[in-house]
Amino acid sequence: MDKQIIKIENIRKIYKVGNQEVRALDGVDININKNEYVAIMGPSGSGKSTLMNILGCLDTPTSGLYVLNGTDVSKMKDSELAVVRNKEIGFIFQSFNLLPRYTALDNVALPLIYSGESRKQRDIKATDALTKVELSDRMHHKPNELSGGQRQRVAVARALINDPSIILADEPTGNLDSKTSIEIMKLFQKIHQSGNTIIVVTHEEDIAKHAARIIRLKDGLIESDEVNDNPITYN
């Protein structure tokens, strides 16, 4: 039986803007199993960014249930969510979010500092992660000495470093040209094949089509949740 990694029930997120209520999410249900590859799509204002923030434990819902890898995180405090984020979630952002003065190796090792691991152990694990994304020859370079694709590979290695329950990618190819985008999606395929659960938030149809399941949001609700029988794959 597949192990459920994410269980979301009747999630609502309501913002107050002046005297008005904005229902960014208005009763969303999603279950995601281990090793699924899911794309979340939707136009601007659909609620996909709000959903990503809740999935990533960057925000809590106004109401509803969110169980991540067996733990109810729906009502956790910020300090508790920070611990969960570091342990359970590997983030990949459109803007890479690398520290400019740190080398690729130090950027990748950063999440391990909060785990209390020794410098030597951090460097060993970071070297291994950079080797997996085929960047072992660039590990002592700083972000401004790397191409956009290489920077995103560093971000992918950093996301993998803690062996998280889920990889959460927000518009991961948004700042990349089409050739480099394909390289990153090939890398995602490889990561998925090695057993990782991947959730990609995107507005690009061709990026979503790499996933085996596509969830579409509209006006804070799930418009459709469908299996993609022919995801784009690479040899």
Candidate from 59-63, 92-96, 181-185 with smallest mean pLDDT: 92-96
Does residue 2 or residue 205 have the better pLDDT? 205
**Where do we find the tokens 């969110």?**
66
pLDDT at 2: 64
Q: In this prediction, what percent of the chain has a pLDDT beyond 70? A: 99
Question: Which ranges of the chain does DSSP label H, i.e. alpha helix?
Answer: 48-55, 78-88, 104-113, 119-132, 148-160, 178-193, 205-208
pLDDT tens, 152-188?
A: 999 999 999 988 989 999 999 988 899 999 999 999 9
Longest dimension (CA), the chain: 56
* pTM of the predicted structure, to 2 decimals: 0.92
pLDDT at 1: 46
Q: Which domains occur in the chain, in start order? A: 35-61+76-227 (3.40.50.300)
pLDDT tens, 8-43?
A: 999 999 998 889 988 999 999 999 999 999 999 998
Q: How far is CA 231 from CA 141, 185, 187, 234, in A?
A: 35, 12, 15, 10
Chain center to CA of 172: 9
Q: Average pLDDT over the chain, rounded to whole?
A: 92
pLDDT tens, 117-166?
A: 899 999 999 999 999 899 999 999 999 999 999 999 999 999 999 889 89
Give the pLDDT band (50/70/90) at residue 89: very high
Angle at 14 between CA 9 and CA 18, to 5 degrees: 175
- Spatial separation of the C-alpha atoms in residues 213 and 65, rounded to whole Å: 22
- Spatial separation of the C-alpha atoms in residues 83 and 234, rounded to whole Å: 35
Is residue 96 pLDDT above 90, yes or no?
no
pLDDT at 75: 86
Give the pLDDT band (50/70/90) at residue 114: confident
pLDDT tens, 196-230?
A: 999 999 989 999 999 999 999 999 999 999 999 99
Q: Which two tokens stand for residue 98?
A: 């690398």
